[in-house]
Chain A
């Protein structure tokens, strides 16, 4: 307690905060450029094929994180159900790839294996066309988010209630998919993909191509998020986060403001899910339910939810730590992750992205 009381005295928050605001645009631009160099020049050279495909997986999580950073960090929408949109995008892509593997007029292998169906279900059929399936990976999650958000935000469901509701939705979708063994693969999900738009996925060259598509998509999403954050809309979104009622008295409908952020975040999660499938080779209910949905949020919290690059750094760091530590201590990882979350929320609410600023303020205070 004492240190938090003393700090404003030694370092006037007004002055340091002002400097932070004015320098932020420059830093975000430099950060983006550095991220681009790391992803496109350093990582492909420095990492083995195996590590590079692991990174592709982490970057998919990072794409989800960019959306959560926008919706939660900027808009205050604690969405504990991004797995739903990740899953919708993932399944849309996986269904197309399954049908493409099966060939024209054929049914996917797992349907023949389970033998419950005589014909392809009607709702599978449109995904045979890439012109339907590809846009659907993004538009389907956005449509669901739009319908859900319209209902929820207009009724002024917010805070913890919104978080619980979004989480329940993630649970519901996972349970539904498990129950539909014959048409969705049930617990096993959809896997054993051979090709990705005609490219053999077993070929390491093509795996590298998938990595570059993922990295390029992540950068594109970062640019979109950056534009949104810096636009007048981005300022309005922060205003809604901090004082929804006040925004309303200025003549805006906060429900619409939140809806945009929620729908964009859903689209980002959908694209992430779609690219996760060729990058990792599987999508199943365990990847989209409550636990992964919470893990997305933990990554964002650790990295710094209100910044542009924080969520990306956090998502990659947590996913990497998970892989590394769960190899060494399989049982301990869950506890470690929980501990990490508690530590960040309690002691570093700005996440890793705020460490630099805190150190600078402290130094400033001593000088």
Chain B
């Protein structure tokens, strides 16, 4: 298993430094939460790692440099991600969604033929995300929570060693949140995971380590307890959160 090593990462939009010299080390097998107020640069950081926005500095996954490569190559190197709003292929069935996610390494000849049998990983994923009965339903007709699960299922079958999850429980009911947490527990086995999340309860029950970003810089880093005890963090972010709670 590989870890993620980010050094001196800068992303600027028209002169505005969205990510301003971030260093980040995520150990192999870690579950790292990225938190911080709106505009702290969390999503931009993930965008930079996955090749969606241009960045300077360096991003190593294992011993491979990710920066400067196109998105699909970074994905092939073992980096998977989800988005704030669940993006599944709405005009395709649940099965087709998963099958596509499982097939980036397929040869052209395989692609030009029909699916003869359902790949075992897809069947397993259907079980795991509890969508077996919805297998042939169009993804667009799923409930919001089910779409999120489908997206997690797509990560499962994509079978990448590094996962970057952008607000996986946003907009979910309490029950859905618990189910998603259990799912993420399955997915993060033997993988390195980075999660962006606003939900503090979710973070406390799930995070191993936490990095707090503020105005494009790393403000604090450590275990959940360490970060919560950091007065600077309380000032910009957690302070408000704990008061509300």
Contacts and interface: CB of A to CB of B under 8 A. Distances in A.
Interface of A: 13-14, 17-18, 21-22, 227-228, 230-233, 235-236, 238-239, 242-243, 245-254
A231 B111 CA distance: 7
B91 A238 contact: yes
A134 to B, nearest CB: 24
Given A239-B97, A250-B75, A251-B158, 17 more contacts: A14-B137, A14-B138, A228-B112, A232-B100, A232-B103, A232-B106, A235-B96, A236-B103, A239-B96, A242-B90, A245-B71, A248-B70, A250-B100, A250-B158, A251-B105, A253-B70, A254-B72
Contacts of A21: 93, 136, 138
Contacts of A13: 141
B89 A246 contact: yes
Contacts of A236: 100, 103, 111
A18 B139 CA distance: 11
Nearest to B95: A235
A239 B89 contact: yes
Given A251-B158, A253-B70, A235 B100 contact: yes
Interface in B204-234: none
A248 B141 contact: no
B5 to A, nearest CB: 21
Tell me the dominant secondary structure on chain A's binding face: helix
Interface string B53-94: 000000000000000001110011000110100011111110
B89 A251 contact: no
B113 interface: yes
Contacts of B184: none
A252 B72 contact: yes
B243 interface: no
28 contacts: A13-B141, A14-B137, A18-B136, A21-B93, A21-B136, A22-B136, A227-B112, A231-B113, A232-B99, A232-B106, A232-B111, A232-B114, A233-B111, A235-B92, A235-B96, A235-B100, A236-B103, A238-B92, A239-B96, A239-B100, A242-B90, A246-B83, A246-B88, A248-B70, A249-B72, A249-B81, A250-B158, A251-B75
Nearest to A253: B72
Contact of A14 (B88, B110, B141): B141
A239 B99 CA distance: 11
A8 to B, nearest CB: 11
Question: Which of B75, B99, B105, B154 counts the most chain A CB atoms within 10 A?
Answer: B75
Contact of B104 (A17, A227, A233, A251): A251
A238 B93 CA distance: 11
B115 interface: yes
Given A251-B72, A251-B104, A232 B141 contact: no
Contacts of A227: 112
Contacts of B87: 243, 245-246
